[in-house]
Amino acid sequence: NAGVTQTPKFRVLKTGQSMTLLCAQDMNHEYMYWYRQDPGMGLRLIHYSVGEGTTAKGEVPDGYNVSRLKKQNFLLGLESAAPSQTSVYFCASSWTDYYEQYFGPGTRLTVT
């Protein structure tokens, strides 16, 4: 039982490049979330999903897209990376929006 996994763990991109971050959970959770964490700021919600095939915008969705084609996977895409997207990205999953969230180990992304 791996819980929530994220790939990759680290990535360096040049401005304008694209990439996809993968989040996978094996707990059959309906809800999945993508957050970013920046120094001096709390975790901020980028996008979330309340079930397979659904996605919704969070607090800071601009510059990101997501997809949830399978219940266990939640993908975060950056179509044209910008230095402002340098951050640590966390994925999380939960049964519902008010239940305990289980977090992945994080992905450290640097955009130069």
Partner 1 sequence: KNEVEQSPQNLTAQEGEFITINCSYSVGISALHWLQQHPGGGIVSLFMLSSGKKKHGRLIATINIQEKHSSLHITASHPRDSAVYICAVSSNTGNQFYFGTGTSLTVIP
Contact positions vs partner 1 (CB under 8 A): 33, 40-45, 48, 50, 56, 58, 88, 90, 92, 97-103, 105-106
Least Å from the CB of residue 21 to partner 1: 15
**Which residue lies nearer to partner 1 by CB, 19 or 88?**
88
Spatial distance between the Cα atoms of 22 and 9, rounded to a whole number of angstroms: 10
Burial class (CB in 10 A: 0-12, 13-18, 19+), 102: middle
Least Å from the CB of residue 39 to partner 1: 10
**Which residue lies nearer to partner 1 by CB, 67 or 102?**
102
Least Å from the CB of residue 76 to partner 1: 16
Non-local (6+) Cβ contacts of 41 within 8 A are none
**Which residue lies nearer to partner 1 by CB, 35 or 85?**
35
Least Å from the CB of residue 88 to partner 1: 7
Spatial distance between the Cα atoms of 46 and 62, rounded to a whole number of angstroms: 8
**Which residue lies nearer to partner 1 by CB, 61 or 106?**
106
56 to each of 30, 31, 60, 83, how far by Cα in Å? 13, 11, 11, 24
